[in-house]
Structure 1
Amino acid sequence: MMKILYFGLKKKTLLIFSVTAICALTGAGSGFAQVSSTPGSESSALLEKHEVLKPQLAQNSYRRPLFFESTESANTVSSSVYAVLDSPFPTVSMTFKKPDRWCEVLILHLNTKYCQASADADKSGKLAVNIGKKTAQALADTFSLEFSHRVTVATPNYLAVQLHADKGPLKTTDYQLQLLAVPLPEGKTFINLRYSYGYGLAGRLAMQTYLSTLGRGKVGFTKSSSGETSGYVGGMRGAVERNTMRYYLAIEAYLASLKQPPAEQVNSRLQYWFDATEEYALQLHELDQPSYLSMKKAEYQRQQGVPVTVQ
């Protein structure tokens, strides 16, 4: 969900994780805007967006049908991915209407250490998520975050699901992750994954400290127009783009694993996620394959209630 940022302060580890855009969609424009008020208009707007983006989806540097947008303001940072999934809409809809399926997706990210889902009587849900560093870590040393899970629209032709947390570390606020989806011909689905968070002065200063130390030189996916030597945006926009891609690839990996026998699905999605992120090694490489697979298998077992000893 996020790239978790670390630095020491009075012997305690402070964590910030980048969260990406929840700005809403209208019509065929490429910017973020307000979502329409009815399911029919919302699905039409997303399909119109697909039509507008067809050239970029067909030919781009990502080597998959995907398009990025991101923004940074004085107190928010956000990113949005539009992509075509090679999975039918009923499968996508059935998967992401369920809070526990989100946990299966989120745990693929390097910094997600644990996720437990629960459902309320009103059919809303919650996700208790622990985030930490990119190596093995005891849960007591991680940061706990609670997301609400709401299916805001679910029809045979449109899905809108929102995860939201009011507060995060270092006075960060309004964490949001939203998935919009519509069916396409030939058993495919067009989605918009949006991810964002707000921050105050403390959050901005902490992020800037990370970006000038451990995060120095790391970049995102959007081509830069302000002279970065890498040719890509850096800073907070770069961080939020990296994590948006990590979560999009986790969605891809989970859906692809459903084609495997149940006993092979977890290993399949872990391998898929690692291989997919290595396609963008400049932005996303952090661990070698054995280290990632070993850590994630242990964290997945812990998520299933199996005791895990952290070395």
Structure 2
Amino acid sequence: MSSPFHLPAPWLRAQACAVLLAFSAHAPAASPDTSPAPASASAAAQALRATHQRTGAKLAQNGFGRPIQLDSMETPNGLQGDIYAVVDHPLPEISAALKESARWCELLMLHVNNRRCRTGTSPQGGEMLTLFVVRRYDKPVEQAFQLPFAYRVASATPEYLSVEMNAANGPLGTSNYRVMLEAVALDGQKSFLHFGYSYDHNMMVRMATEAYLATFGRNKVGFTVVGKEADGQPDYIRGTRGLVERNAMRYFLTLDTYLSSGAGAPAERRERSWFAAAEQYPRQLHEVDLDTYLAIKREDRQRDGAGR
């Protein structure tokens, strides 16, 4: 997120929260041994297929140039974003790529503001994924906020995949982060994905974020069309929902890029693909030039020994 460097504390809170909006929760992290029973997984698969049928018209006709539906909303305590999409990947391929926390670290690092990712084990024995997020892409990793997520595969059957990440606390008045991915097979070659997230914030953070978006971030827009400009061009949603939608799309594109690149793809090839995908929506997502983005990611890999 672009913003001035020297701002008073409320503005810094707003910037930090803006970067982190793509991760949130409204429930405590589940224990790693509480995966749904097969009957529950089957019901969840049926529910996701019903969602696909219900959103068919929006998937077929939208402004994304591909079958995607993006929803955002303000909740009583925070914000929530959901992306639904048809992807050209069979479910077994998606499950193989996204069942391991280390794979999630690889794909999450495509986002320009994510500077480090670590996997480990909690004191209770569950899987953990810790993401280091900077408030602006050119800030050093030493200034990153840490988000320690409890990671679990909630369900992995031949017909349905569900992965959840939860973090009870975040920086600067944010809390209850949740990230979730679910996928169901449509046929042997296509699947339907749902990527969702939510988070809570206190009143001070909410007011600071809204104030930032009304001044320095007033030109930032999301994807939902709320009307037409005087010249007939689409008038896109702004404010906190616009912020949610931008980050939702960035993170969905990390998923899609990772799936499309295939196992063992060189990191820079993935990075170039993610950047190109984001640049398809320059009004919403352009933040940095390609050379700068690649240099940042190269620095991250060299610092942490993350490979190619």
1:158-197 map, 5 Å: 158-197=160-199
1:7–1:210: 8 Å Cα contact kept in structure 2? Answer: no
Corresponding residue of 1:237: 241
Corresponding residue of 1:33: none
How far the C-alpha of 1:7 sits from its partner, in A, is 6.4
* Paired amino acid for 1:254: Y
* Paired amino acid for 2:22: V
* Paired amino acid for 1:58: A
Please tell me whether residue 250 in structure 1 is matched to residue 254 in structure 2: yes
Larger RCO of the pair (alpha carbons < 8 Å, separation 6+): 2
In structure 1, distance between residues paired with 2:268 and 2:305: 15
* Paired amino acid for 1:18: L
TM-score by structure 1 length?
A: 0.84
Q: 2:147 aligns with which of 145, 148, 152?
A: 145
Corresponding residue of 1:290: 291
Q: Which runs of 5+ in 1 are unaligned?
A: 25-36, 307-311
How far the C-alpha of 1:212 sits from its partner, in A, is 2.8
In structure 2, distance between residues paired with 1:204 and 1:179: 26
Please tell me whether residue 268 in structure 1 is matched to residue 265 in structure 2: no
In structure 1, distance between residues paired with 2:218 and 2:302: 33
1:21–1:70: 8 Å Cα contact kept in structure 2? Answer: no
Please tell me whether residue 19 in structure 1 is matched to residue 22 in structure 2: yes
How far the C-alpha of 1:64 sits from its partner, in A, is 1.1
Corresponding residue of 2:212: 210
In structure 1, distance between residues paired with 2:238 and 2:75: 14
How far the C-alpha of 1:150 sits from its partner, in A, is 1.4
Q: Deviations over 1:248-277 (max 9, x none)?
A: 000111111116xx3x43122101110111
- 3-state SS, counterpart of residue 7 of structure 2: strand
In structure 2, distance between residues paired with 1:192 and 1:61: 18
Q: Deviations over 1:141-182 (max 9, x none)?
A: 111111111111111111111111111122111111100111
Q: 2:73 aligns with which of 46, 71, 76?
A: 71
In structure 1, distance between residues paired with 2:49 and 2:24: 19
Count residues with an aligned counterpart: 289
* Paired amino acid for 1:97: K
- 3-state SS, counterpart of residue 129 of structure 2: strand
* Paired amino acid for 2:157: T
Change (3 A) 1:86 1:301: farther
Identity of aligned residues (%): 35
Corresponding residue of 1:8: 7
Please tell me whether residue 125 in structure 1 is matched to residue 116 in structure 2: no
How far the C-alpha of 1:22 sits from its partner, in A, is 6.2
* Paired amino acid for 2:51: K
1:78–1:197: 8 Å Cα contact kept in structure 2? Answer: yes
In structure 2, distance between residues paired with 1:4 and 1:169: 19
Q: RMSD value over aligned CA atoms?
A: 2.8
1:170–1:202: 8 Å Cα contact kept in structure 2? Answer: no
Q: Which runs of 5+ in 2 are unaligned?
A: 28-38
1:160–1:181: 8 Å Cα contact kept in structure 2? Answer: yes
1:124–1:148: 8 Å Cα contact kept in structure 2? Answer: yes
Change (3 A) 1:196 1:7: farther
How far the C-alpha of 1:99 sits from its partner, in A, is 0.6
